[in-house]
Amino acid sequence: MWAYIIRRVLATIPVMAFVALFVFSLLYLAPGDPAAVIAGDQATPDDVERIRASLGLDRPYLVRFGEWVFRILQGDLGTSIFTNLPVGHMIQQRIEPTLSLMIVTLILAVSIAIPMGVVAAWKQGTWIDRAVMGFAVLSFSVPVFVVGYLLAYIFALELDWLPVQGYTPFSEGFFPWMENLVLPATALGGVYIALIARITRATMLEVLQQDYIRTARAKGAGQGSILFVHALKNASVPIVTVIGIGIALLIGGAVVTESVFAIPGLGRLTVDAILRRDYPVIQGVVLLFSFVYVLVNLGIDLLYTFLDPRIRY
Amino acid sequence: MNPVAIPPGLAIAEPMPDVLPPVSARRGLIGFLRRYPTIAIGGGLLLAMLFVAVFAPFLWTKDPTSLAPALRTREPGAEFWFGSDMLGRDVYSRVLYGARVSLLVGFSVALFASAIGLAIGLFSGFIRLADSIVMRIMDGMMSIPPILLAIALMALTRGSVQNVILAITIAEIPRVTRLVRGVVLSLREQPYVDAAVASGTGTFMIMWRHILPNTLAPLTVQATYICAAAMITEAILSFIGAGTPPIIPSWGNIMAEGRALWQVKPYIVFFPAVFLAVTVLAVNLLGDGLRDSIDPRLAKSL
């Protein structure tokens, strides 16, 4: 098992290296000349050349990449072109809302989607099953910002139950925090719920046909315990995999959801950075999100060895 | 049939009556569509949207970019069927013309991503040396969430429909490559491929004749899902201002422009949203139907 864990951890290195190379190339290929910008309008070509040399921008691609990676490893993500603040600092300021939104969405989605998928598999072919599957197709088709506006229109504007927009930090209390997150999390969770419910149903259908389920039924186990203990436990590996892969949907969706609900998080930061062409910030956010995504999926892969003792690599 | 000589003393039994009532099996397109209603519904809706996109100028539209500041933010009514936006442009016309961008992006991305992914997947599935390198690159690309990857690529270039197509295509290629490679890896173990190798067929011919045709069915299904995803991604990119340039009416752009006013004039966001959702739903239904028709076994579980 330890050999597997070490091999799996080592396997993320080329992936991370690719991500780093891609993100670095983003800044390298970005239009505009930072040296010319810093030198200003009055500068002579010689001045620009001197600044370029002092910034190290005249050195070869791989040398600059090496230096960049070295700085990243020290936690230095560069400086924003627009605000002149360190990118790491800007990300730190914006991370709480995004993290809150993702965690609430994750909990909400998993706690709705898994029972949905289990019941759909149990009642296969009935209207319940068809309703769940119909909901899934619908969720895949309606973009997150459309759901967001629809929810905000109904529950915030018409019914006035929840705030339309904004974010309250967790430090100001659980309920105000939650109040602002319910609608965005529901909007963001739609696709994710559909994804998890579908894989849960598919895996459960397979598991429910196994002999040990018949055995459990024969020994008199209740329907609930058969579904949620005997079957779900054995269906957990593909479900957990999809939960991990689906984090990508959450990350992509958060960028949009934060725009709809005016949440001052990383998504909002990304959108602002794109509109201002603030490449160091775009670079930092893409790097952070990708590394989180890789690490989450690494963690899930390692979790398997504990979830399912049959898995031996 | 030749008449058979019946030996004396034997009699032929009367033919048994048919136990099953005769079924007139429906064949052809109608029968196919009846068996897979989702293909009929999805395909029908998609054709309708295609009609709207192609014939937008003749469907009682005005110039979608003509400004009329005096007539801004009119409610939907006889003059402006879907209302007018804050610059007095006719939302109905803009939404109809917006179908062009969405469908163009969806179809182009599905086509290009499938073609390129197919080529890379075949290459990587057949040449072991290339496989590990190609798949590491694909893993790396897949570890960047696709929307973020498209956003990052769009940040490098000017906003234009071509660049949007290119960015989304690049973001979708790894998934196609994985699918094709998986099919290739399982097919190359098949006895008929061994037989082809044994009879001296060249690698290229094996790929072309024996492997490629078998990847097309799952690839077609995947292509419809890519088409749906691409239309959503285009709308998202345009919505956050990193996609189709604002001068071109696309559903994402119309919604982005309606965003500031959505609390008082929700219809500006509402109409493009409904068109987008219906179109994507149509493509998804088509994909589900195609998947079911290709693999009935899978249909029961998924």
Give mean pLDDT, residues B50-67: 73
Chain-centroid distance, C-alpha A178: 19
pLDDT tens digits along A127-160 = 888 888 888 888 888 888 888 888 888 887 778 7
CB-nearest to B152 from A143, A145, A286 is A286
pLDDT tens digits along B187-238 = 888 888 888 888 888 888 888 888 888 888 888 888 998 999 999 999 888 8
Q: Which of B249, B245, B241 is nearest to B276 (CA)?
A: B249
Q: Taking 70 as the threshold, does the pLDDT of residue B181 lie above it?
A: yes
For residues B121 and B202, give the distance between their C-alpha atoms in angstroms, rounded to a whole number: 18
Q: What is the largest CA-CA distance in chain B?
A: 104
Chain B residues with beta carbon closer than 8 angstroms to that of A149:
262, 266, 269-270, 273
Q: Which residues of B touch A (CB under 8 A)?
A: 136-137, 139-141, 143-149, 151-152, 154-156, 228, 232, 235-236, 239-242, 255, 259, 262-263, 266, 269-270, 273, 276-277, 280-281, 284-285, 288, 300-302
| pLDDT of amino acid A34 | 66
Asked if B285 lies within 8 A of A138 by C-beta distance, the reply is: no
Contact (CB, 8 A) for B173 and B113: yes
DSSP B84: B
| pLDDT of amino acid B115 | 93
Chain A residues with beta carbon closer than 8 angstroms to that of B242:
271, 274-275
Six-digit token string for B56: 């937008």
Query: Looking at per-residue confidence, does A164 or B21 come out higher?
Result: A164
Query: Looking at per-residue confidence, does B26 or B301 come out higher?
Result: B26
Q: Give percent above pLDDT 70 in chain B.
A: 82
Q: Angle at the Cα of A94 (from A88 to A98), degrees rounded to 5? A: 120
| pLDDT of amino acid B300 | 45
- In three-state secondary structure terms, B90 is strand
Residue B296's pLDDT band (boundaries 50, 70, 90)?
low
DSSP B207: I
Give this complex's ipTM: 0.82
Q: Please report the residues numbered 65 through 124 in chain A whose beta carbons come closer than 8 angstroms to any beta carbon of chain B.
A: none
- In three-state secondary structure terms, B113 is helix
Asked if A252 lies within 8 A of B147 by C-beta distance, the reply is: yes
| pLDDT of amino acid B302 | 41
- In three-state secondary structure terms, B78 is coil
Asked if A290 lies within 8 A of B302 by C-beta distance, the reply is: no
Six-digit token string for A131: 């309703």
- A249 has a chain B CB within 8 A of its CB: yes
Chain B residues with beta carbon closer than 8 angstroms to that of A17:
140
CB atoms within 10 A of CB A228: 14
Residue pairs between chains A and B whose CB atoms are closer than 8 Å: 140
Residue B299's pLDDT band (boundaries 50, 70, 90)?
very low
Asked if B156 lies within 8 A of A137 by C-beta distance, the reply is: no
Query: Looking at per-residue confidence, does B81 or B103 come out higher?
Result: B103
- Tens digit of each residue's pLDDT, chain A (313 residues): 777 788 888 888 888 888 888 888 877 777 766 666 666 677 777 777 777 777 667 777 788 888 888 888 887 877 877 787 888 888 888 888 899 999 999 999 999 999 998 888 888 888 888 888 888 888 888 888 888 888 888 887 778 787 777 787 877 777 878 878 888 998 998 889 999 998 888 888 888 888 888 888 888 878 888 888 888 888 888 888 888 888 888 888 888 888 888 888 888 888 888 888 788 888 888 888 888 888 888 888 888 777 777 665 5
What does R_g of chain B's alpha carbons equal in angstroms?
27
| pLDDT of amino acid B169 | 92
For residues A57 and A49, give the distance between their C-alpha atoms in angstroms, rounded to a whole number: 9
| pLDDT of amino acid B87 | 67
Q: What is the mean pLDDT of chain B?
A: 80
- A24 has a chain B CB within 8 A of its CB: no
Chain A residues with beta carbon closer than 8 angstroms to that of B148:
251-252, 255, 270, 285-286, 289-290
Residue B301's pLDDT band (boundaries 50, 70, 90)?
very low
CB-nearest to B143 from A31, A202, A290 is A290
Query: Looking at per-residue confidence, does B32 or A177 come out higher?
Result: A177
Give mean pLDDT, residues B275-284: 89
pTM: predicted TM-score of the whole model, two decimal places? 0.83
Residue A79 forms beta bridges with which residues? A86
Kindly write down the DSSP assignment for every residue of chain A, as one continuous string: -HHHHHHHHHHHHHHHHHHHHHHHHHHHH-SS-HHHHHH-TT--HHHHHHHHHHHTTTS-HHHHHHHHHHHHHTT---B-TTT-SBHHHHHHHHHHHHHHHHHHHHHHHHHHHHHHHHHHHHTTTSHHHHHHHHHHHHHHHS-HHHHHHHHIIIIIIIS--S-SS----GGG-HHHHHHHHHHHHHHHHHHHHHHHHHHHHHHHHHHTTSHHHHHHHHTT--HHHIIIIIIHHHTHHHHHHHHHHTHHHHHHHHHHHHHHTT--SHHHHHHHHHHHT-HHHHHHHHHHHHHHHHHHHHHHHHHHHHH-TT---
pLDDT tens digits along B136-169 = 888 888 888 888 888 888 888 877 888 889 999 9
Contact (CB, 8 A) for A132 and A197: yes
Asked if B239 lies within 8 A of A275 by C-beta distance, the reply is: no
For residues B243 and B250, give the distance between their C-alpha atoms in angstroms, rounded to a whole number: 10
Q: Please report the residues numbered 192 through 221 in chain A whose beta carbons come closer than 8 angstroms to any beta carbon of chain B.
A: 198, 202, 205-206
Asked if A271 lies within 8 A of B241 by C-beta distance, the reply is: yes
Asked if A15 lies within 8 A of B136 by C-beta distance, the reply is: yes
